[in-house]
Each structure stands twice: as C-alpha cells, then as structure tokens.
Amino acid sequence: MKIISAVDGSPHASAAATLLNRIPFAGDTDVVVVSVLEDVYESAYGKHLGSLVRETFDADRRESAKTLLQKESERLSKTFASVRKELMVGHAAREITALAGSENADLVALGARGMNALERFLLGSTSEKIVRHAPCSVLVARDSSHAKTQAESDQQPLRILVACDGSPATNESIETLAQLPLSEAVEVMLLSVHSLVTSFRADILQKMSAEWRREAELARAALDAAARQRQAAEIHNVSTRVEEASDVASEILQVAEHWHADIVMAGSNGKGAVDRFLLGSVSRRLIRHADGSVWIVRRKHEPAT
C-alpha cells in the first residue's frame, strides 16, 4: 500500500499524521510526505514583491518546508518502515492529485484546513478539490475537540464508523477495512440511514406504505451484507445500527459525534437518492461539517464525480 501524507504545519495536518500512526496499516506500507509551496506570485501579493524580497521570501519558505518535512517524516518513521519526502511548488490540490496518480497511491491523507496561502496552502478548499479529483481514497483529518494525542491513543481504541447503503461504495469501505490488520483495539460501527420525508407529516403515510417497508428491509439487508462481509474478513468488534432521518448526512454526523468516532468512512458515491441516499453529496457534507476525520473510499483510478 502507498500513502501520500500532505503536511503544512497546521493542527489539522498534524492530526492526519497522528491518525496514520494509529491506523493499523500493513507492514510494507510506503509513505510519501509532501509539502507544497504555493506560487504566491500569481496572486495579488506577487506584484508588490521586489526581486530581492522574493528571493528572501522563497528561501525562508523553502527552509521552513524542509524543516517541516523532516519533522513529519521522523514522526511517521516510528510506524512506517518506508518514508520519503517530497517538496513541490505550485497549486496544492493539483500537485497533490498529480502526485497521487504518478505514485499509484492508495490513499491521500491531509488536514481539513491548513495554514494561510502565504505560508503553504489553504487546505479548506484544497481538501474538497482533492477529494473530488484524487484517483484514490482520501482521508481528511481534523484536530477536533475529542481528537486524541498519540499518547492517549495508546490507551483507547480507534473507532471507525462506516456509512452503509448497500452500494458498491459500501463494499469498497468494507474491503478497505478487510485489508487492514485490525486488532481488538479497533472498534467498527456499521451504520445505515434511510431517508424519511417529514414535511406535512408525510412520514406517517410513508411508514404505512409498502415502499417504506421495502426501504426498511433494504437498510437491514445492507447491514446484514456488510456484517457478513466483515465476518469473512475476520474484522472484530463490530456493531450495527439502523436509523431513519429526514437528513441522512446530519444523522451520520450526529451518531458519529455521540459515539465519539475517530473516523467516519464513506464511499465516494452511493446508490441513488430514491433508494436511500446519494453518498456523493453526503460525502461532501461529511467533509465540510464532521467534527472528526472523514475517510472517503474510492477504488483507485475511479473517475471522480
């Protein structure tokens, strides 16, 4: 397995590295730690910088980036045997996405938001662009209110909530977990949420209909299938949960918060909204509003949407 770890010195990027150290990846996993220096001269700031100031500014940024790369590489080297450093210049989202493609990466890990654009890259918009266009899965980390330090994580289990809807994307999530050497120290919750129309008390009629019963059966079937899949993969400490809600993404976020999930795992796309929920839109909302980290699972080289 190969992982691209994007760093910029922000608390969120640091949280991404902490998560990578906590997730039980295979021993032969390779990590490429990358820092991207934004070309600020293309911005409004560029025309106000003289050549001498530019040279000094570039030299300072480059030295800071090298120091950061060394620091983060050393931290990841405590867990991963193979760690390489890359310093790039350009548009952060474009450079990281291109690197993921050229390295045939399985996962890109980065912070939800980074430092300001003058320091390295603004990861608020960058993270969404990478999630949409990366040719592989993306882990978007947050330095949340309940985020655990490396020392605290040694004492507490890693909790992963998997959003299930019975789609191929759900299968990808379970298969991703199956490839990890999960131990008893990892807890997994399989969550299925089917939408409920509450306007004008339509939920009452909805629950009386044959369509509603079909929805409930499909939700349970999706969880049962995921449960069988994880049993075959010998994934331990798994619980299942079915919920109904008018807003699927909000329900996932609420369950994740109450359960204190470290990671919410969701497919890049789910079934259609008519079946249960369109995980393409749900995944974007999870990235924007989750209190913790979000792992968007995508089969490598699957066209982004």
Given a contact cutoff of 8 angstroms between Cβ atoms, the answer to whether 295 and 267 are in contact is no
d(CA 31, CA 105): 9
Q: Where are the domains of the chain?
A: 2-141, 157-297
What percentage of residues in the chain have a pLDDT greater than 90?
A: 36
Structure tokens, 121 = 């890259």
> Hey, which CATH number is domain 157-297, 3.40.50.620, 3.40.50.300, 1.10.1040.10, 3.40.720.10?
3.40.50.620
Contacts of 225 (CB under 8 A, 6+ apart): 166
d(CA 101, CA 96): 9
Structure tokens, 100 = 């993921």
Q: What is the pLDDT of residue 162?
A: 92
The fold of the 2-141 domain, in CATH, is Rossmann fold (3.40.50)
Phi, psi of 244 (to 5 degrees): -125, 140
Q: What is the pLDDT of residue 192?
A: 86
Angle subtended at Cα 135 by Cα 85 and Cα 287, rounded to the nearest 5 degrees: 90
d(CA 183, CA 239): 15
Alpha helix (H) residue ranges in 108-158: 123-133, 150-153
Phi-psi region of 301 (alpha: psi -120 to 50; beta: other; left: phi over 0): left
What does the pLDDT profile of the chain (305 residues) look like in tens digits?
999 999 988 888 999 999 999 999 998 999 999 999 876 554 555 555 556 556 666 788 889 999 999 999 999 999 999 999 999 988 889 999 999 999 999 999 999 875 544 334 444 578 888 988 899 999 999 986 445 555 555 568 899 999 987 777 777 888 888 888 887 788 999 898 876 655 444 444 445 556 656 666 766 676 776 666 666 656 678 888 888 887 888 999 999 999 999 999 998 865 544 333 444 678 888 888 888 999 999 877 654 54
d(CA 43, CA 20): 33
d(CA 304, CA 215): 28
Indicate yes or no: pTM above 0.75. yes
Phi-psi region of 201 (alpha: psi -120 to 50; beta: other; left: phi over 0): left
Q: Which of 165, 152, 148, 110 is nearest to 260 (CA)?
A: 148
d(CA 158, CA 261): 8
Query: For the segment 213-234, what is each residue's pLDDT rounded down to a tens digit?
Result: 666 676 667 677 666 666 665 6
SS3 192: strand
User: Do the domains at 2-141 and 157-297 have one common CATH topology?
Assistant: yes
Q: What is the pLDDT of residue 129?
A: 87
Q: Which of 254, 260, 267, 259 is nearest to 240 (CA)?
A: 259
